[in-house]
Chains A and B, each alone.
Chain A
Amino acid sequence: MAGSGKAHLRATGDVLLRVEDLVVEFPVGRTGLKVHAVSGISFDVLRGETLGVVGESGCGKSTTGKAMMMLPRPNSGSVEFEGTELTDLPAAAMRAARTRMQMIFQDPISSLNPRRKVRDIVREPLAIWKRGTQAEQLAKVDKLLEEVGIDPVRAGESQAHQFSGGQCQRISIARSLVLDPTLIICDEPVSALDVSVQAQVLNLLEDLKAKYGLTLVFIAHDLAVVKNISDRIQVMYLGKICEVAPSDAMYSSPAHHYTKLLLDSIPVPNPEVAVQQVTVQGEPPSPVLPPPGCRFNPRCPAADDRCRAEEPQLREVAKDHFVACHHPLFGGEAPVAVRSATG
């Protein structure tokens, strides 16, 4: 499997999570075809950092988030978390590792058990892992519920459907924190919320991150939201990484044509700003038969024969700014690569 390069992986610094050559494929019925959801991506996250993962539906961003938790185990590649390789961990050890990495999902109401009291839902992880006495567990649950802005008394007598979407997302956040994890994977946590509530939840995540020293992987399709919360952003397209850069640099000087397209497509809430003419038509092709070469080439305004044949590798075009493109918006043409032997 042709990788997309590892030039952006960091050798120094306190690396909490390192993913290399991650491949996730799903069979399409009995056709023998496969959905190439994630095709050999590599990335790392430092302790205390927020990595934003952005891309359109079908780009593999949620699959990547789940594969980090071994849900399901990736087809190949490695996921190293706190120095432990997760891909070949036995089931029991993997369950223990998951207490250190937790997930928050998009639809807060359906990710909470509808038949149980909210306070019990938040307490359940502590009960399963037998952390502390019942009184200690309840004290911890109530403290966390208060921190996320939910009244513990009401949580003790109510079920998820009695709370609003924003409140349910707060409850999910409390549940994810109850086992003192280091890494929280947030999969579109605010996409289903109204803007006014979205801002509340984003601010809450920032506060909790500072308070508990959390590391976040924040997956979303909204570039403005991702930029607000992330230190670094990774743009994905059809199972590959296009660009990795610090948030502010990604916005001020995108190098990949796809990143530029994403930025130009954001509707600006200001009528004085002229609406960007749509330059790129079409939609992402099916991940069952991804195009050869650069996967963005059928929609790319700069594509040529080289893009249709040779897959670009990630390379550094500015400090900490990496792009996988033969003809990036800045940083010069990619040198004609010597074919890697791994292919």
Chain B
Amino acid sequence: MNTRLQAASRQVDGPLLRVTDLRTHFRTERGLVRSVDGVSFTLDRGKALGIVGESGSGKTVLSRSIMGLLPGRNTERSGSVVFEGEEIIGLSLKDRRKIWGKEMSMIFQDPMTSLNPVMRVGKQVSEGLRIHLGMDKDTARATALRLLQDVRIPEPEKRLDQYAFELSGGMRQRVMIALALACGPTVLFADEPTTALDVTVQAQILELIGEQRRDRNMSVILVTHDLGVVAGHTDEIAVMYGGKLVEKAPTRSLFANMKMPYTEALLRSIPNIEDPSHTRLNVIPGRPPDLVNPPKGCRFSPRCEYVQPKCINEEPPLIAAEHSDHVYACWYPVGSPVYRERRAQLDAEKRRAGHNQVGVA
């Protein structure tokens, strides 16, 4: 298997990554867009964290903001990101470059536009090896070949001298992964890594990322809109809505004991393959908030079926559930008396309307 010993030698107490009150706002003609608005979380070494949310929830901006990949102009960033014990917010471009690829790397949704179209695959993979690890040309090429084998690209010798356009979509994403893994990063950000791929290829790529994470004791942040993808491939899940983190829990605990009505609504709007065909789908009415003028209280309140006056006026803080590792931001979480009363009301209404929906227990 792969040699990845640097991580162990630099072991620092505490979590690998600690994000505190991170805010990332963009100045636009329409006003300040609050894409990430006070997000805090920690990530331990070797763990996989899923960040889930709809388009515009801020999940992509969050991951890029942590890495410092956003353009400086018109961006306002505050808060703290401590990585291996060091604050990385405010680092110069030169210092950030030392981190990119070597400590933190990222794979993107569209492998075609993220790879260099006029540079051979082998050269792209070995570029980081030569710069960060100071390898000579031949060693770098041999290492690149081994990386392509690791990500199980068929005929790896031949691929080294090919260009991205000569490869299939799944193979391009494998090259992206090889490139991201080249310098043995401690954290891999995967931003919708399988959204552009077919479902059979998606399964292969997710399996590959999981396998590499275990082999290398690397942490993974998997950013996606698909609760199905995170369910099987993460240890923890953070749900984002309107630039805020609204629920975070270990994966099993989240699915078994959802607290935030948004998380529940999101899960229930996915067509379940086990339901008979023509089963009426649960919808979340309306659409995500405008992040220039987000709603005053809970940002989900305009779309929430269980909304109460307090939700409209006061923003709920992130509080712990029965277990301290499960946090959520809701005044009347799933299972609370107010929630249950409203649920019963809604179920009665739906029965009258004649929809074949089943209420939650």
Query: Which residue numbers of A lie inside 8 Å of B, CB to CB?
Result: 56-57, 164, 166, 194-200, 202-203, 206, 221-225, 227-231, 247-248, 251, 261-278, 280-284
Q: Smallest CB–CB gap between B33 and chain A, Å?
A: 16
* Alpha-carbon distance A198/B283, docked complex (angstroms): 8
A228 touches B277 (CB 8 A): yes
- Closest chain-B Cβ to A221's Cβ sits at a distance in Å of 6
CB-CB < 8 A to A198: which residues of B? 269
Once bound together, how far apart are the Cα atoms of A126 and B197, in whole Å? 39
Q: Would you list which residues of chain B between 196 and 222 have a CB under 8 Å from chain A?
A: 198-204, 206-207
B270→A224 contact, CB < 8 A: yes
Cα distance A166–B284 when bound, in Å?
12
In the assembled complex, 7 residue pairs joining A and B whose CB atoms fall closer than 8 Å, in A order, are A199-B284, A222-B199, A224-B270, A267-B233, A269-B267, A270-B231, A273-B231
Instruction: Tell me which of B168, B206, B231, B281 contacts A271 (CB under 8 A).
Output: B231
- Interface bits B105-138 vs A (CB < 8 Å: 1, else 0): 0000000000000000000000000000000000
A203 to B350, CA, bound (A): 15
CB-nearest residue of chain A to B274? A251
Are A231 and B277 in contact, with the CB atoms below 8 A? yes
Q: Which residues of B contact A269 (CB under 8 A)?
A: 226-228, 231, 255, 267, 270
The residues of B with any CB-CB pair to A shorter than 8 Å are 54-55, 152, 154, 168-171, 198-204, 206-207, 225-229, 231-233, 251-252, 255-256, 265-267, 269-285, 287-288
* B269 partner residues in chain A, CB cutoff 8 A: 195-196, 198-199
- Cβ contact within 8 Å between A281 and B204: yes
Q: Is B200 within 8 A of A56, CB to CB?
A: yes
Query: A196 is contacted by which of B202, B231, B276, B284 (Cβ under 8 Å)?
Result: B284
A267 touches B287 (CB 8 A): no
User: In the complex the two chains form, what is the Cα distance from A295 to B278 in whole Å?
Assistant: 32
Residues of B within 8 A of A221 (CB): 198-199
Q: Contact between B283 and A199 (Cβ–Cβ < 8 Å)?
A: yes
- Determine if A56 and B199 form an interchain contact, defined as CB atoms under 8 angstroms apart: yes
Residues of B within 8 A of A278 (CB): 200, 203-204, 207
**Are the CB atoms of B231 and A262 closer together than 8 Å?**
no
Please, how many angstroms separate the alpha-carbon atoms of A194 and B170 in the complex? 23
Residue of B nearest to A251 (CB): B273
Given A228-B281, A271-B231, A278-B204 in contact, is the A283-B275 Cβ separation under 8 Å? no
| Among A251, A266, A278: residue with most chain B CB under 10 A | A278
- A227 near B277: Cβ-Cβ < 8 Å: yes
A194 to B225, CA, bound (A): 8
Other than the given A195-B227, A224-B271, 8 more pairs (CB < 8 A) read: A57-B198, A267-B202, A269-B227, A269-B255, A269-B267, A273-B232, A275-B233, A278-B207
Q: Are A202 and B206 in contact (CB under 8 A)?
A: no
**Chain A residues near B281 (CB, 8 Å)?**
199, 202-203, 228
A228-B279 contact, Cβ under 8 Å, with A268-B228, A271-B231: yes
B233 contacts across to A, CB distance below 8 A = 267, 275
Q: Which residues of B have CB within 8 Å of A195?
A: 54, 225-227, 266, 269-270
Question: Which residues does chain A contribute within 8 Å of B272, judged by CB atoms?
Answer: 224
Identity of the chain B residue whose Cβ is nearest the Cβ of A222 in the assembled complex: B199
The distance from the CB of A230 to the nearest CB of chain B, in whole angstroms, is 6
Evaluate contact between B206 and A267: CB separation under 8 angstroms: yes
Please report the C-alpha to C-alpha distance between residue A274 and residue B21 in the assembled complex, in whole angstroms: 35
CA distance A72 to B162 in the complex (A): 34
B214 CB to nearest A CB, Å: 14
B residues less than 8 Å from A225 (CB atoms): 271
Query: How near does chain B come to A324, taking the closest CB pair, in angstroms?
Result: 18
For A271, what are the chain B residues with a Cβ–Cβ distance below 8 Å?
Answer: 231-232, 251-252, 255
| For the complex of A and B, 9 pairs with smallest distance between CB atoms | A267-B228, A275-B232, A196-B284, A247-B277, A199-B281, A56-B198, A228-B271, A199-B269, A265-B203
Contacts A164-B287, A199-B283, A227-B271; A267 near B203 (Cβ below 8 A): yes
Please state if A283 and B271 are interface contacts (CB–CB under 8 Å): no
Q: Give Cα distance in the complex from A266 to B200, angstroms.
A: 8
| Contact A266-B228, Cβ < 8 Å, known A196-B265, A202-B281 | yes
Docked Cα-Cα span, A262 to B273, in Å, equals 12
Centre residue among B252, B267, B277, B281 by max chain A CB count within 10 A: B277
Does B199 contact A262, Cβ atoms closer than 8 Å? yes
Q: Find out whether the CB atom of A265 lies under 8 angstroms from the CB atom of B228.
A: no
Query: What is the minimal beta-carbon distance from B109 to any residue of chain A, in angstroms?
Result: 13
Shortest B225–chain A CB gap in Å is 6
A268 to B251, CA, bound (A): 13
Contact A227 B273 (CB under 8 A): yes
Assess A283 versus B198: contact at CB under 8 Å? Given A203-B281, A272-B255, A278-B203: yes
Note all chain B residues with C-beta closer than 8 A to A222: 199
Residues of A within 8 A of B204 (CB): 278, 281
B198, B251, B282, B284: residue with the most chain A Cβ atoms closer than 10 Å: B198
CA A57 – CA B277 in complex, angstroms? Answer: 24
Question: Which B residue sits closest to A197, measured CB to CB?
Answer: B287
Smallest distance from the beta carbon of B28 to chain A beta carbons, Å?
Answer: 15
**Measured between alpha carbons, how far is A261 from B199 in the docked complex, in Å?**
9
User: How many Å lie between the Cα of A206 and that of B255 in the bound state?
Assistant: 29
Q: Cβ of A248: which chain B residues have Cβ within 8 Å of it?
A: 276-277
Cβ–Cβ contact B200 & A280, under 8 A: yes
| Chain B residue contacts of A262, Cβ below 8 A | 199-200
Contacts of A280 in B (CB 8 A): 200
Q: Which of B232, B265, B280 contacts A268 (CB 8 A)?
A: B232
Judging by beta carbons under 8 Å apart, are B199 and A223 in contact?
yes
Most buried by B among A198, A265, A269, A284: A269
B199 touches A283 (CB 8 A): no
Residues of A within 8 A of B206 (CB): 267, 275
Q: Are A224 and B273 CB-contacts (below 8 A) given A194-B54, A203-B280?
A: yes
A133 to chain B, nearest CB (A): 36
B residues within 8 A CB of A273? Answer: 231-232
Contact (Cβ within 8 A) B228 A229: no
